[in-house]
Amino acid sequence: MKKVTLILSFVIIYALSAFTALPPAKLVAKDAHISFYSHTAVEDITANNYKVTTTLDTDTGELVFSVPMQGFEFEKALMQKHYNSKNFLNTKKYPKAKFVGKITNMGAVDFDTDGSYTAQISGEMTIKETTQNFEATAAITVASSQIELESKMDIVLADYGVTFSKGKPSTNIAKEIEVTVKANYKP
Amino acid sequence: MGLVLLGVLIVGLAIVLYLFNMPHRDVVGSNADFYLTTSTIVHEYLENPTVANAKYLNEEGESKILAVTGTVQSIDEDMNQQKVILLMEANDKAGVSCTFTQSTNKHTDNIETGQQITVKGVIRSGASYDADMELYEDVILEKCDIIKK
């Protein structure tokens, strides 16, 4: 009788554990926002993209961004055309830019406790056909199971093979572009 | 002679002003280039993205306008206060994400999940499986509006 009770207890506990699943570690944000800003003495250029997909694994700190390049909208239509063209980002041939990396200071970020944390991020950035090591700092805010990530960084266009030797692009587009990222992750 | 020069200057100025203030493409006011179902476009991309991109994306960013018919799976809002409707069929691995504009947002007011609708918009990227994210990405349409098929 005792043996049966013991076995039955184990079976019940095992069955119950199926109902206490832990929350998923991999979070997704579709429609994250990335904007970039170029400042020169001649003109300032801003573009916004509200269609970025990104995942964040709160167990491993793995962070990935997939950016649909044709989603960047400029105020000036002509600028948008030039940006997409073969001479610049060639977005038909390279429709997506990627960042694959991770949070390197996971000890300093507590995804289970509401609060604000500073995350160090390291990984690889791919724009067109060039991949470079890339590092950035991000502000992570945890508020009742919603996780917000914000970051500002500089990208040197020439690092990814985007250069201009003459004409308007060389004077009107900054060598270093300021990029702002904002994502709201949900399970 | 002076008059000719003046004429040339005025024409030149007109061209520069036009280029500087060139209007954005009016997707909402344009007809669709292709009519298809959610499943068709998703399968086309998952099977051969290179062929699909050659067919639908344009070098100057003036990509094709698609009219996609499918089932509403969800209705959300993005960070630019634009409505986003996800069209997706139960058996497919990815769907078509449709982002509306400030002026067409209100056309989504009465749309409910489970409804069959046709959405017209410009394609920004295709469906694909992303190995790094271990996620299927949806086809992305923007400048969307609801149309009657």
The total of other beta-carbon atoms located within 10 Å of residue B106's CB is 10
What tens digit of pLDDT does each residue of A168-187 get? 777 888 989 999 999 999 87
What single DSSP character describes residue A186? B
B23-66 pLDDT, tens digit per residue, is 999 999 999 999 999 999 999 999 999 999 999 999 888 999 99
The letter for the amino acid at B31 is N
Given a cut of 70, whether residue B149 has pLDDT beyond it is: no
Pairwise CB contact (< 8 Å): B140 & A48: no
pLDDT of residue B27: 95
Count of domains observed in chain B: 1
pLDDT lower than 70: segments of chain A: 14-24, 165-166
A73 alpha carbon, distance to own chain's centre: 18
CATH of domain A23-185: 2.40.128.110
Q: Which residues of B touch A (CB under 8 A)?
A: 19-20, 22-25, 53, 57-63, 76, 78-80, 82, 84, 97, 99, 124-126, 130, 132-135, 137-138, 140, 142
| CATH code, domain carrying B89 | 2.40.50.140
Please give the Cα distance from B125 to B63 (Å, whole number).
Answer: 9
Please name the residue of chain A whose CA is at the shortest distance from the CA of residue B23. A77
Place of tokens 């409910």: B112
Binary contact (A33, B62; C-beta < 8 A):
no
Domain-embedded: residue B63: yes
* Residue of A33, A76, A92 with shortest CB distance to B79: A33
Confirm whether B18 is domain-assigned.
no
Residues of A in contact with B53 (CB under 8 A): 92, 95
User: Would you say B103 and B21 are in contact if contact means Cβ atoms under 8 Å apart?
Assistant: no
Residue B21 in any domain: the answer is no
Domain interval for residue B121: 26-147
| A66 contacts in chain B (CB < 8 Å) | 130, 132-133, 137
Residue B3 lies in a domain: no
> What are the phi and psi torsion angles at A41 (to 5°)?
-65, -30
Q: Do B78 and A55 touch (CB under 8 A)?
A: no
CA distance B138 to A30: 10
Q: What angle do CA B37, B38, B40 make, to 5 degrees?
A: 65
Q: List chain A residues with CB under 8 Å of B80.
A: 33, 48, 50
What are the tens digits of pLDDT across the range A150-168?
A: 999 999 999 999 887 667 7
Mean per-residue pLDDT for B57-78? Answer: 94
Please state the ipTM of this predicted complex.
0.90
The answer to whether residue B130 sits within a structural domain is yes
